[in-house]
Amino acid sequence: MTTAPGTGAARVIMRKLRDIVHTSEPAQEKLNKLVSMIASAMVADVCSIYLKRGIIHELFATEGLKPEAVHRTRLKENEGLVGLVAETARPLNIADAPQHPRFSYRPETGEDPFNAFLGVPIVRSERVFGVLVVQNRAARVYTEEEVESLQTVAMVLMEMVAAGNFGDLSGLQEVEVRPSRPERLVGKGFADGLAIGRAVLHEPHAPLGRAFADDPAREEARLDAALARVRKSIDEHITNDPGRLSGQSREVLETFRMLANDHSWESRLKRGVRDGLSAEAAAERARAEHRARMQGAQNAILREQMHDLEDLDNRLMRALASPDGDDKLALPDDAILIARDIGPAELLDYGERLRGVALEEGGASSHATIIAKALGIPLVGRLTQLGARVEAGDRIVLDGERGEARLRPEPEVVIAYEQRLELRYAQAEEFARQRDAPAVTRDGAEIKLLLNAGLMLDVQHLGEVGAEGIGLFRTEFQFMVSERLPRTAEQIQLYSDVLAAAGDRPVTFRTLDVGGDKVLPYMSSEREENPALGWRALRMGLERPALLRTQVRALIEAAEGKHLRIMFPLVTVAQEFIDARELVEKELAVAQGRGRKGPAKLEVGVMIEAPAIAFGISILAGKADFLSIGTNDLMQYFFAADRANPRVSDRYDILSAPALKFLRFIREEAARAGLPLSVCGEAAGKPLEAMALIALGYDRLSMPAAGVGPVKRMLRNLDAQAAHAVVESLLTSERPSVRADLAAWANAENVPL
């Protein structure tokens, strides 16, 4: 029995596909029956399956071409019409295939008499695994419904092959459609630590066993309910508090709402369900297509639109998975989160339920990295093709020290990492024993070790690691994880809680550092060509004084009767600090005029991140109360290398002679101005870098909680004067880095790093 083209062919194929996969026949026989059945249902003269093997597309099964061409016809990655479909990840529907410029004639196939060609990509995650093709002798363009039907079949075929429903395909020229072999992916370690666990996908696939819908009407009702939830959540973002949205941020959400209400998106989803797919499988098909198109898109605007569509697909998947409104994913006890990238609010939603995080993108200074450090879990980023190489439930070893992820590791690899974990536990016990020991070098130099923080979770580590205070509290996290501008009372509450948790230990609050690449969704902003050098941090605060004054007012009220330290980020010239300090003094006068006592002691400082202010330290004498170096930004501006750009971020080293001489200059200028100076960048928490800083005369270091133990162990075994002599001798080096020299000296002197 055949079905007229475009009249429910997908439903016919779905019904017969179930029968084929449940037989006990060999995989090749199942594929042969499948192409024969598709050709019959589509009323096509030819149906062929090409699967990708390395950089080759190999003919794996055909109905209508010569049988002897199977496993003999192999096309290069971008060769022929099949290569074009795989390259673009989009259907190709043409009436006269031989006249197409990309047509590649292969005489062994016997495809001479066939003109009409329809090829659709076989996609899963972000990878194109092959191409499904139908052909006809008559020159014709296939209907939209026929294209949809073949896409549906390709998606279900991929999921069923991945689930093993076609048996083991490894014998058929070692095609691997579902990752199963051990793999080692090398990226960058952004948060230290080791973890052994199971993969949890931040954007999960549809359950492989739920590809088909037993009751299409019920599935369509589920789809309608999930779509309504997605649209309602977007509407609420826009309408609940319209005053907080303006300019570009509102336009972005309005565009997003338009996409969510797009009739073509909904129609494609519903056609999938009516053809026999489950609602999840229909959404999975749409997401796979959008991802594949985004990967191949060269146009930035098209990529952005595909990213928005993929986000909608993900929201729909979560809504389908949680019809009761709880979108939180149930996690195993050993969950390792897998994502392309993730924002701070999303990562906080998972919280301490995770063992680790693995990302395709990410950065050393990203807020997800900072959150991971606060949670005390390893984070490894820049793992190329991670999403395409891992399945939910796969065992993973995550190595934040070496920046590696081991997927489906061999038993001996797991044993080796378990031994390393035991060593880390023993090391942690050693750090705990030295928690209350003084941070003093062998030759008597006293070093203050402080914490970098941005969450209450960070502050709780103070007592655990024995830090003497908080050298940097990043206030922007409260703003970034909120869906609206935090009210004054909410800011007061957070700052009060931080000061109460710190007790008698000092806390330095850095005022809001947003703008540039850290855009708050509820604040209007303009796209900048170079956001790192743009309108951000104190520049924004001075031009938006209401925002800065509200935050300063909250800090003053929260610190009533206590010691308050306020630090301004990205000060470039002294006048910026003078203007900002004047604003603080005005707010203090207002508070006192209202009968408030105000802080028992107020200190206001400058964060040295722009090289220009390093040459203006003398002007700050008598005006500022303290200085603190943010090495992350200072070094990116010093070397003119964007620390968020993986192509250049590793092309400089703070342990180079020019950088060390600059840091020595800043320390000398601060001493001449009589201003206390600390370092609160990432370098302070790394034993080797901290050793160099101590050698240069720095005695106040602020770092993530995980850095306190290793740095204290290092400095308690260090002769600071001897280290000073070594660093001074290396300042004339012409090599790009003196890192190896310093490490060799430390090893010879038994200084643990």
pLDDT (tens digit per residue) in 687-731: 999 999 999 999 999 998 888 999 999 999 999 999 999 999 999
Structure tokens at 475: 């206030």
Asked which of 355-369, 489-503, 604-618, 623-637 is least confident by mean pLDDT, the reply is 355-369
CATH superfamily of 434-748: Phosphoenolpyruvate-binding domains (3.20.20.60)
Decide: 182 and 375 in contact? Cβ < 8 Å.
Answer: no
680 belongs to the catalytic site: yes
What is the 3-state secondary structure of 168-185?
CCCCCCCCCCCCCCCEEE
pLDDT of residue 393: 86
Structure tokens at 439: 């941070």
Q: How many Å separate Cα 626 from the centre of its chain?
A: 35
57 belongs to the catalytic site: no
pLDDT of residue 249: 40
Asked which of 219-228, 254-263, 335-344 is least confident by mean pLDDT, the reply is 254-263
pLDDT of residue 642: 80
pLDDT of residue 148: 80
* Residues in contact with 15: Cβ distance below 8 Å, sequence separation at least 6, in sequence order: 276
CA–CA dist 705, 456 (Å, integer):
13
pLDDT of residue 720: 97
pLDDT of residue 294: 56
φ, ψ of residue 507 to 5 degrees: the values are: -130, 125
Partnered with residue 453 across adjacent β-strands are 473
Fold held by 9-162: Beta-Lactamase (3.30.450)
pTM equals: 0.63
Asked which of 125-129, 275-279, 456-460, 684-688 is least confident by mean pLDDT, the reply is 125-129
Query: Which tens digits make up the pLDDT trace of 331-384?
Result: 888 999 998 888 766 677 777 789 999 998 887 767 778 778 878 899 999 998
pLDDT of residue 320: 80
Structure tokens at 627: 């200085």
Alpha carbon distance, N-terminus to C-terminus of the chain: 74
pLDDT of residue 253: 53
By CB neighbour count within 10 A (0-12 exposed, 13-18 middle, 19+ buried), where does 595 fall?
Answer: exposed
More confident residue, 53 or 5: 53
CA–CA dist 305, 309 (Å, integer):
6
For the segment 142-153, the average pLDDT, to the nearest whole number, is: 84
Sheet containing strand 395-399, strands side by side: 183-186, 404-407, 395-399, 194-201, 335-339, 354-359, 379-381, 188-191
For the segment 27-38, the average pLDDT, to the nearest whole number, is: 88
Residues in the chain: 753
CATH of domain 208-321: 1.10.274.10
More confident residue, 76 or 124: 76
- DSSP code, position 139: -
For the segment 732-748, the average pLDDT, to the nearest whole number, is: 94
pLDDT of residue 245: 37
pLDDT of residue 4: 42
Sheet containing strand 46-53, strands side by side: 74-76, 56-63, 46-53, 127-136, 116-124, 92-94
CA–CA dist 137, 302 (Å, integer):
35
What sign has the CA pseudo-torsion 532, 534, 535, 541?
positive
CA–CA dist 367, 388 (Å, integer):
25
Structure tokens at 596: 């408030």
pLDDT of residue 167: 58
Decide: 368 and 341 in contact? Cβ < 8 Å.
Answer: yes
Strands (E), 572-659: 601-608, 626-629
pLDDT of residue 274: 80
Question: At 250, is the pLDDT very low, low, confident or very high (cuts 50, 70, 90)?
Answer: very low
Query: Which tens digits make up the pLDDT trace of 387-407?
Result: 878 888 899 999 998 899 999
What is the 3-state secondary structure of 498-561?
HHHHHCCCCEEEECCCCECCECCCCCCCCCCCCHHHCCEHHHHHHHCHHHHHHHHHHHHHHCEC
Query: Which tens digits make up the pLDDT trace of 207-218?
Result: 444 666 678 888
- In 3D space, the residue among 716, 684, 679 whose CA is nearest the CA of residue 444 turns out to be 716
Asked which of 421-430, 678-687, 719-728 is least confident by mean pLDDT, the reply is 421-430
How many CB atoms within 10 Å of residue 719? 17
Segment holding 147, helix H or strand E: helix 144-162
Decide: 198 and 393 in contact? Cβ < 8 Å.
Answer: yes
Partnered with residue 181 across adjacent β-strands are none
CA–CA dist 84, 81 (Å, integer):
5
How many CB atoms within 10 Å of residue 67? 11
In whole angstroms, how far apart are CA 229 and each of 151, 322, 326?
27, 10, 12
Domain with CATH 3.50.30.10 in the chain: 183-204+330-424
Decide: 275 and 267 in contact? Cβ < 8 Å.
Answer: no
CA–CA dist 127, 471 (Å, integer):
45
Structure tokens at 723: 């280290």
Decide: 628 and 680 in contact? Cβ < 8 Å.
Answer: yes
What angle separates helix 247-260 from helix 216-239, to the nearest 10 degrees?
170
CATH architecture of 183-204+330-424: 3-Layer(bba) Sandwich (3.50)
Domain with CATH 3.20.20.60 in the chain: 434-748
How many CB atoms within 10 Å of residue 524? 13
pLDDT of residue 89: 84
Decide: 605 and 565 in contact? Cβ < 8 Å.
Answer: yes
pLDDT at 488 over 50: yes
pLDDT of residue 209: 47
CA–CA dist 458, 467 (Å, integer):
11
Question: At 239, is the pLDDT very low, low, confident or very high (cuts 50, 70, 90)?
Answer: low
- DSSP code, position 455: S
CA–CA dist 479, 120 (Å, integer):
45
Domain with CATH 3.30.450.40 in the chain: 9-162
pLDDT at 94 over 90: yes
Dihedral (Cα; 304, 310, 312, 318), 10-degree rounding:
-150
Candidate list 47, 205, 237, 680, residue with the active-site label: 680
Decide: 493 and 554 in contact? Cβ < 8 Å.
Answer: no
CA–CA dist 525, 527 (Å, integer):
7
Candidate list 57, 290, 367, 461, residue with the active-site label: 367
- DSSP code, position 647: T
Q: How many Å separate Cα 339 from the centre of its chain?
A: 6
What percentage of the chain reaches a pLDDT higher than 70?
A: 82
Query: Which tens digits make up the pLDDT trace of 272-331?
Result: 788 777 888 888 777 766 665 655 555 555 555 555 666 677 778 777 876 665 555 568
In whole angstroms, how far apart are CA 69 and each of 59, 60, 62, 272?
7, 9, 9, 33
Average pLDDT, the chain: 83
pLDDT of residue 537: 79
Strand-pair category, 188-191 with 379-381 = antiparallel
Partnered with residue 407 across adjacent β-strands are 183, 396
Query: Which tens digits make up the pLDDT trace of 570-615?
Result: 999 999 999 999 999 999 999 999 988 889 999 999 999 999 999 9
Partnered with residue 606 across adjacent β-strands are 568, 627
pLDDT of residue 3: 43
Question: At 553, is the pLDDT very low, low, confident or very high (cuts 50, 70, 90)?
Answer: very high
| 190-207: b (≥16 Cβ within 10 Å) or e | bbbbbbbbbbbbbbbbbe
